[in-house]
Amino acid sequence: MKRRDLVEHLLAHGCVLLREGAKHSFWINAAKNRRTAVPRHGEVNNNTAKGICIALGVPPLTKK
């Protein structure tokens, strides 16, 4: 899936960008006190995207 689709999904569910790392962006869901890293690649593996959503406590992204 495209990284921008994942980022839009995270933003829609209340997650915010915490900081930028060398190869990853670090996102936080302050409402659930969870944080995780999101790789900065054009394409993100679907299983990785699902794991990111689970780690942040948001519903998994459905395919369009």
Q: Which long-range contacts (CB under 8 A, 24 or more apart) does 24-31 make?
A: 27/52, 27/56, 28/56, 29/56, 29/57, 29/58
Inform me whether the pLDDT recorded for 14 exceeds 80. yes
Give the model confidence (pLDDT) of 48-64 as tens digits.
999 999 999 999 987 75
User: What DSSP element (H or E) covers 48?
Assistant: helix 46-56
Q: What would the mean pLDDT of 16-37 be, rounded to a whole number? A: 96
For residues 19 and 27, the answer to whether their CB atoms sit within 8 Å is no
CA 32 to chain centre: 14
CATH topology of domain 3-56: Metal Transport, Frataxin; Chain A (3.30.920)
Give residues with Cβ within 8 angstroms of 8, minimum separation 6: none
What's this model's pTM, rounded to 2 decimal places? 0.92
Domain boundaries, the chain: 3-56
